């Protein structure tokens, strides 16, 4: 049986980007995390200790997003690395980092990267 946990729409304000203005002004981001893990025991026992705690995922995402990077690709990779290190029951993880209203000389709602590992 495949088990998946999704934490969608983690809203954050961060300072990622290559432009000096992005370092000073910052911008809005949304992060989605999809985890493949075996939570079949937790589904039966109703015990939080037998699954991945969403609070831990949200904390890790927030801490990594608070570390400035030029590229959201770099941030996404750091998030995956930390999730897999701190939550060893994760089999695979997919992280999507969306930058809202990017400064790219056009009317663009967002740009996003998605990494799976």
State the CATH class of domain 4-116: alpha beta
The answer to whether the predicted template modeling score (pTM) of the entire model surpasses 0.85 is yes
pLDDT above 90: residue 104:
no
Looking only at the bridges linking them, the beta strands covering 90-100 and 110-116 are antiparallel
Q: What's the confidence (pLDDT) of residue 106? A: 86
pLDDT above 90: residue 63:
yes
Which residues are annotated as catalytic? 99
Distance separating alpha carbons of residues 97 and 114, to the nearest angstrom? 7
Cβ-based neighbours of 115, under 8 Å, separated by 6 or more: 73, 76, 77, 80, 94, 95
């Amino acid at each position: 049986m495949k088990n998946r946990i999704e934490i969608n729409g983690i809203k954050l304000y961060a300072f990622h980007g290559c432009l000096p203005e992005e370092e000073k002004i910052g911008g809005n981001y949304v992060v989605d995390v999809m985890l493949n893990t075996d939570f079949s025991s937790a589904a039966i026992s109703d015990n939080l200790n037998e699954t991945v705690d969403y609070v831990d995922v949200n904390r890790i995402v927030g801490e990594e997003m608070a570390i400035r990077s030029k590229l959201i690709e770099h941030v996404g990779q750091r998030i995956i690395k930390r999730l897999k290190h701190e939550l060893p029951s994760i089999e695979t993880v997919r992280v999507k980092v969306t930058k809202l209203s990017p400064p790219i000389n056009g009317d663009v709602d967002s740009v996003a990267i998605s990494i799976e590992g």
